[in-house]
Amino acid sequence: MLLLDSVIPEKWYKVSETADILGWSHDMVERWIENGLLQAFVIECRSDLRPRIYRGKRVQGCEIIRFVRTHLTILKPRSPRFRMT
């Protein structure tokens, strides 16, 4: 599968990178993490510009591979309901 060939199992990916790999939105990947479908490591960090603590999330490549094999399936295209003649 081409999707899994591009993922390095040992690498840690940002949520935005994970969303790009899976072809879903950043928000959807965040929901999967919150619901426990996709495991992520949370990194607390500070910005020099603001005193706020940010919570960055990283997903390991082997977790992306596990998620794809477990939860995503290949969809077959539907037959057209109406045919143009």
**9 occurs within a structural domain:** yes
- Kindly give the pairing relationship between strand 41-46 and strand 12-14: unpaired
Number of domains in the chain: 1
pLDDT at residue 44 in the model: 85
User: Does residue 28 sit within a domain?
Assistant: yes
Tell me which long-range contacts 15-24 makes (C-beta under 8 A, separation of at least 24): 15/40, 15/57, 15/58, 15/59, 18/59, 18/64, 21/64, 22/64, 22/67, 22/68, 22/72
Q: What is the pLDDT of residue 20?
A: 92
pLDDT above 60 (res 85): no
31-70 pLDDT, tens digit each: 999 999 999 999 887 777 878 888 889 999 999 999 998 8
Q: What is the pTM for the complete model shown?
A: 0.74
The domain of 22 spans 2-71
